[in-house]
Amino acid sequence: MNYLHRLFFIVFCVCSLSASNEKLQPTIPEDCIDNSIFAPEDIFDLQASPYIDLVTGNDYTAAIELAIAHAQLTTIAPNSADANPSGAGAGGIILFPGNKTIEITDAIALNNNITFRASHSKTRIKASDNYSTSNTMFFTTSSIANITFENIIFDGNEEKTAINMFGNNSAIDTISFMNCEFQNMINGGRSAAGISLANVSDVLIKGCTFKNSNFGIRLDKRNRRIKIEDNVFENTLNKNPIRIQGIRDSLFPAIAAYSSDVWITGNKIDVGRADSIIEELSIPRDPETGAVDISTVNSEDDPDYDTYQEWRDGRFGPSAIYLTCGEGNTPEGIPTDNHINVIIENNFADGPDYGFFDGGSADLYSIKDIINLKVNNNTARNSGDLGISLERSSNVIVSNNTVERNNSSGIAFTDVKNPVITNNIVANNALRRDFIYNNVPYGGILLLGTTTNALIEGNQLFCFSLPGDISFPITITEGIDYTRARTSPTSYYGIMIRKAGTEDDGGSPSVGNPFATKIGINNYSGHRWGAIFNEIPSTQITENLAATSFPTDEDLPEGSWVQNSNLNNSALGWGVIDRNQDKLAIGITSENTITLEDASGIQVQDIIGIELPDFNVHWTTVSEINVGGDPNALKIADDPTGDILDAGARVVALRWKTVTQ
């Protein structure tokens, strides 16, 4: 058969290929196979015949499908009857025209042993305006192997996912994406992604750029040996730049869904500003500070509550790196899993420098459900919430990270077993740009829930004033707002160990208490209220901290810690073990005697503070209780002479305990 006849024959056969909308793996009718010989390194150049002959305008759909089909033809050695009837194919390289935009009009099914490569500079593959109803550009649901994409720009035309490879309960093996770009992967359901993989193994995604998409990289189900290295995620992604989750299928509940042996290294992630519920609902801002109290719409009785809930359900800012096995969506009765052996290292994540409710990001690193985790040498900056959040994990090392200028705390641990927290720089956190979490002390490192056997040492925990930073004192009494603008330092404490029932990193009461925490030698500087806030008796503090005596002129919550600055090898400091807050029942009528609305729980020698009309506080001690037989009458050491105190003035009583270990 001469060349022209052979070309005509191939083109004729292409016309008979299935046009099914289901886009099954393309096949070539048996009468089209004419004993062609394809070597393992065959190059299928889309600019050459027969492929270029199938191009209509910029539409390369048929040309790409024919090249994939040719790569799957049975390999036949010259003058040999040996053939592989399975049709697995030797594969080859499909060569795209460089420095050119081509279009596809329908989803293209992938197959084994194929490299997609631009000939010199990058090729842009764009989903056509006349695209089919499919939501994917390239896909497979079969167990294929050895797929590589190099120097390709994928353009989803603000609608499509670029790559969707779902192993359908059996693994897709050896997938590489090198020096590619993924743009405009957006759809109405906010589920489009640059790369979406499930049930895959031996994956390398390196040197790629992702922008203007819902998700960047998304993995689900059971995956093995995943490397995500040296990629750039630009600030227009409105979901998660990197998301790895595992939720078992209710139809196959016995099949595990988690990823093992995962490396996320060297990525640069810029998270852009998302929708602001503050702006959408026109919540008023403080004219001086710009702050708002988001609790105004955090109630089912509020007329804007439905809008607020819709926003919470998907329109707020993303986490830069998000890992979970469950996300709270696991059907009842379905087991949950844990990712195993995960390294997150040398990544840089930068938020938009807004509070969470004002279009800022969620926790920049939100890492959950992992056994054997290393989080090392990363940067988390300008989050709308936490810098790094770790939950429901065990055997965790968090070291040498820089975590600064985040909205609540720097690094938080909730229900984490055996974490080692060392040599981190945790600086200038708790900015609380939109009044978030205004009833909880926040700062550097926070332990919540059943976090057990934590070791915290060698960390630099500091806070200093930066221009424009605003923070607020804690609102102690429900129903009474004592908050007034206060400048930096913004961080309350370097380390906080919280008991059950206190607000966790997501704004909900935590369950369970941390246990057996060991705090070694760390460097603390500039925190508003002190180095350590500890509510848990089992916490061991092993360093010599430094302080004079317990303060008599500060209003501190129960559990707060004041270090001992002068008495080395003596008392480590002082902790608030009880706190009572009340009001004057009547104005002060006799010298050194006050009557409260309810003085129960107050003891002799408690430190007591009485708020004055100018909002300063007179601090003294309780010298007698039950004065004149009145259980609410107290004698104080010295009277606030010269100040007229009326009923309703705020009173706080504190009890201290010397801390020696």
Q: Which residues contact 328 (CB under 8 A, 6 or more apart)?
A: none
Same domain, 491 and 536: yes
- Highest mean pLDDT range out of 115-119, 429-433, 650-654? 115-119
Cα 296 to Cα 301: distance, rounded to the nearest angstrom: 10
Model confidence at 123: pLDDT above 80: yes
Q: Pick the residue with more confidence: 602 or 21?
A: 602
Q: State the helix-helix crossing angle for 61-71 and 3-15, rounded to 10 degrees.
A: 110
Tokens 């708020």, residue?
611
Q: What is d(CA 421, CA 398) in angstroms, rounded to the nearest whole number?
A: 5
Could you tell me the two tokens for 104? Answer: 């596809």
Alpha-carbon gap, residue 554 to 279, rounded angstroms:
36
Give 328's DSSP letter. T
CB 274 within 8 Å of CB 359 = yes
**For 317-343, how does the pLDDT look when each residue is reduced to its tens digit (9 = 90+)?**
688 999 998 755 556 667 778 999 999
Structure tokens at 622: 């309780």
The answer, yes or no, to whether residue 248 has pLDDT greater than 50, is yes
> Which pLDDT does position 78 carry in this prediction?
38
Residue with tokens 């593959």: 125
Neighbours of 427 (CB within 10 A): 22
Ramachandran region, residue 407 (left: φ > 0; alpha: ψ -120 to 50; beta: rest): alpha
Asked whether the beta carbons of 264 and 241 are under 8 A apart, the reply is: no
Does the pLDDT of residue 113 top 80, yes or no?
A: yes
Q: Do residues 428 and 527 both lie within one domain?
A: yes
How distant is the alpha carbon of residue 474 from its chain centre?
26
Q: What would the DSSP string read from start to end of 169-236?
A: TS-EEEEEEES-EEEEE--TTS--EEEEEESEEEEEEES-EEEEESEEEEEESSEEEEEEES-EE-TT
Residue 456, domain member (yes or no)? yes
Give burial (CB, 10 Å; 0-12/13-18/19+) of 298. Answer: middle
Give the pLDDT band (50/70/90) at residue 255. confident
With beta carbons less than 8 A apart as the criterion, state whether 571 and 544 touch: no
- The number of folded domains in the chain is 3
**pLDDT for res 11:** 39
Higher-pLDDT residue of 432, 12 = 432
- Find the length of the chain: 661
* In a domain? residue 319: no
Instruction: Give the three-state DSSP class for 475.
Output: coil
Mean pLDDT throughout 441-449? Answer: 88
Query: Are residues 410 and 531 located together in one domain of the fold?
Result: yes
What is the rounded distance in angstroms from the CA atom of residue 443 to the CA atom of residue 465?
14
pLDDT tens, position by position, 477-529: 333 333 333 344 578 789 988 887 655 444 455 678 999 999 988 988 888 77
For residue 410 the two structure tokens come to: 């720097």
| Structure token digits, residue 187 | 């759809």
User: Where in 282-410 does DSSP place strands (E)?
Assistant: 321-324, 339-345, 348-350, 365-368, 370-376, 379-381, 388-399, 402-404
Q: Which residue segment(s) compose the domain that 58 sits in? A: 3-96
Same domain, 492 and 620: no
Contact by Cβ (8 Å): 383, 359: no
Report the pLDDT averaged over residues 455-468: 80
Convert the pLDDT of each residue in 382-392 to its tens digit. 888 899 999 99
Q: Are residues 514 and 438 in the same domain?
A: yes
pLDDT of residue 658: 67
Q: Residue 29: what pLDDT?
A: 39
Provide, rounded to the nearest whole percent, the portion of the chain with pLDDT above 90.
35
Cα gap 614→109, rounded to integer Å: 74
- Is residue 443 within 8 A of residue 429, CB to CB? The reply is yes
Q: What is the pLDDT of residues 279-315, one digit of tens each?
A: 667 776 665 555 566 666 666 666 666 676 666 665 5
637 belongs to a structural domain: yes
* Per-residue pLDDT at 336: 79
pLDDT score, position 576: 74
In a domain, 593, yes or no: yes
Of 563, 556, 596, the residue nearest 577 (C-alpha): 556
Answer whether residue 257 shows pLDDT above 60. Answer: yes
Each residue of 144-156: pLDDT tens digit?
889 999 999 999 8
Contacts of 399 (CB under 8 A, 6+ apart): 374, 375, 376, 377, 420, 421, 422, 423, 424
Confidence of residue 534 (pLDDT cuts 50, 70, 90): confident
Is 635 inside any structural domain? yes
Highest mean pLDDT among 9-13, 262-266, 497-501: 262-266
What's the chain's average pLDDT? 77
Among 96, 123, 155, residue at a domain's last position:
96
479-483, 547-551, 617-621, 654-658 — most confident range: 617-621
Find the helix or strand (DSSP H, E) in which 416 lies: strand 411-422
Least confident range of 130-139, 295-304, 600-609:
295-304
Instruction: Give the model's pLDDT for residue 10.
Output: 39
Residue 393 has pLDDT above 70, yes or no: yes
Place of tokens 């709308």: 384
Does the residue 58 lie in any domain? yes
Mean pLDDT of 337-354: 92
Q: What is the mean pLDDT of residues 545-568?
A: 55
Type of residue numbered 470 = I
- Reply yes or no on whether the pLDDT at 214 is more than 80: yes
Q: Decide: 180 and 158 in contact? Cβ < 8 Å.
A: no
pLDDT given for residue 51 in this prediction: 93
Q: What is the CATH number of the domain that holds 637?
A: 2.40.10.170
Scanning 441-507, the segments in alpha helix (DSSP H) are: none
Check the CA dihedral 277-279-284-285 and report its sign: positive
- Tell me the average pLDDT across 51-72: 92
Question: What is the rounded average pLDDT of the residues 540-565?
Answer: 59
- Return the structure tokens found at 563: 């270090």
Do 627 and 498 lie in a common domain? no
Asked whether residue 490 is assigned to any structural domain, the reply reads yes
Structure tokens given for 626? 């039950």
CA-CA-CA-CA torsion sign (350, 354, 360, 366): positive
Which pLDDT belongs to residue 182? 94
* Residues 164-209 pLDDT 10s: 998 876 678 999 999 999 998 887 666 788 999 999 999 999 999 9
More confident residue, 621 or 203: 203
Mean pLDDT, residues 597-601 taken together? 89
- The residue that leads in pLDDT, 478 or 534, is 534
- For residues 426 and 537, membership in a common domain is answered with yes
d(CA 591, CA 524): 42
Higher per-residue pLDDT: 481 or 563: 563
| Residues forming a β-bridge with 524 | 461
Q: Identify residue 362 by its one-letter amino acid code.
A: A
CA-only gyration radius of the chain, Å: 32
Percentage of residues in the chain having pLDDT higher than 70: 69
Contacts of 414 by beta carbon, 8 Å cutoff, 6+ apart: 389, 390, 391, 392, 448, 449, 451, 504, 505, 510
Q: Which pLDDT band, with edges at 50, 70 and 90, does 275 fall under?
A: low
Residue 586 has pLDDT above 60, yes or no: yes
| Whether residue 67 is found in the same domain as residue 19 | yes
Q: Where is the domain boundary, 496, 516, 543?
A: 543
Query: Could you tell me which residue, 404 or 507, shows the higher pLDDT?
Result: 404
117 token code pair: 């490569």
589 and 526 share one domain: no
- Do 26 and 83 lie in one domain? The reply is yes
For 42-53, how does the pLDDT look when each residue is reduced to its tens digit (9 = 90+)? 889 999 999 999
**Final residue before a domain boundary, out of 80, 96, 112:** 96
Tell whether 238 is covered by a domain: no
